[in-house]
Amino acid sequence: MIDRADYFAAKLAYETDASDLYARQKASDDVVVIDVRSDEAWAQGRIPEAVHMHYSEIATRAPSEIATGREVVVYCWSPGCNAGAKGALEFAKLGYTVRELIGGFEYWVREGYPVADADGIHRRPVDPLTGVARIRTQA
């Protein structure tokens, strides 16, 4: 039987959330964010500075595009999508340190973090069920 503390420590080693990822981006931490969604979803909006790499392309593209020493965070649309897990598995098979963004792009947007699209970078209103609006007024 696995110890509860070990379980939660392992979970935190393999997952991250929007708040922690945003803090890492603001701190210029060396993390590569990978959007594993479709071309259509990517065009609708994405996390700024993310790389678009559908999970089916990771095995062929990642070794030539992303240094193996860099930490990777993958995301798909939402908690109802398992493409992020598929992408994380592909990176793990290649030997990358990888985490999955829990909540995916949906919670990134709902918590009021920046969204990039063809028109630039925008913020949508914070969903009061997922985030505290007062902390999202930062640039």
Asked if 30 and 70 touch (Cβ cutoff 8 Å), the reply is yes
Q: Is the dihedral of CA 106, 130, 5, 96 positive or negative?
A: positive
Domains of the chain, first to last: 4-137 (3.40.250.10)
Q: Record the tokens describing residue 107, joined without a space.
A: 């919670």
Distance CA(42)–CA(91), nearest Å, equals: 20
What is the per-residue burial (b if ≥16 Cβ within 10 Å, else e) of 31-50?
bbbbbbbeeebbeebbbbeb
The residues carrying an active-site annotation are: 76
pLDDT by 10s per residue, the chain, length 139: 678 999 999 999 999 999 999 999 999 888 999 999 999 999 999 999 999 999 999 999 999 999 988 999 999 998 889 999 999 999 999 999 999 999 999 999 999 999 999 999 999 888 888 866 554 445 4
Strand partners, 97: 71
